[in-house]
Copies of this chain bind each other. A is one copy, B any other.
Amino acid sequence: MPKLRVHGFTISLDGYGAGPDQSVDAGLGVGGEQLHGWMVATQFGHEQFGLEGRGSTGRDDEFARARTENTGATVMGRNMFGPIRGDWGDDEWRGWWGDNPPYHHPVFVLTHHPHEPIEMEGGTTFHFVDAGIEAALEQAFAAAGGQDVCLGGGVSTVRQYLEAGLVDELHIPVSPVLLGAGERLFGDLDGLDRYEVVEVVSSPLAAHFVLAKKS
């Protein structure tokens, strides 16, 4: 059975998956970019962001790459797609990722506001789903052609899918960062007792926790 997987959903040591006050200039909230230092430092991160140098290999790099393996579609919340709230208006926002986003497959964006699909370079098409999280997931599995579906963020999207028991596996890195405020991934979250931690491994830049549904 294809799975719904969460990869690299990084939280701070104090539990925040994004900083406060997300905006065009701070897509991950204020201070939120610190969460992803471990990923940027990898070879995969260097390739993604076109950075000089080679980046690190090893477990961080393996975890960073795992998102793309056997993944045929992505589901994300509207807050991950962009900073716009409410009606789309005349805005021609096409995501944070430039003309050729790093997905290369169909991406289903949860929204309460209908929007035409946006076809990008490199195989990524953004589809907008206003029929709820289960409908979005069904569409994503259909589009994934037998491969798994990855669940992006933001925090509230992951929490909704966790509470509905629809997530099969999660990779949650904890970065050595204290954000002090923001959106908390865990806590006051129903249904977490369906999951258990099956692996812990760290680098100097992150402690990686892998969660799976209890069998």
A interface, CB within 8 angstroms of B = 13-15, 172, 174, 176-178, 180, 184, 186-187, 189, 192-193, 195-197, 199-207, 209, 211
Contact = CB atoms under 8 A, between A and B. Distances in A.
B207 A174 contact: yes
Oligomer: number of copies: 2
B209 A15 contact: no
Contact of A178 (B13, B14, B197): B197
A199 B202 CA distance: 11
A14 B180 contact: no
Nearest to A182: B187
Nearest to A210: B176
A193 B211 CA distance: 29
Given A15-B187, A192-B180, A207 B202 contact: yes
A204 B200 contact: yes
Nearest to A195: B178
The 9 nearest A-B residue pairs measured at CB: A207-B207, A176-B197, A202-B202, A14-B186, A15-B15, A176-B200, A178-B192, A180-B192, A202-B207
A177 B200 CA distance: 11
A114 B196 CA distance: 43
Nearest to A190: B180
Given A174-B174, A187-B187, A197 B13 contact: yes
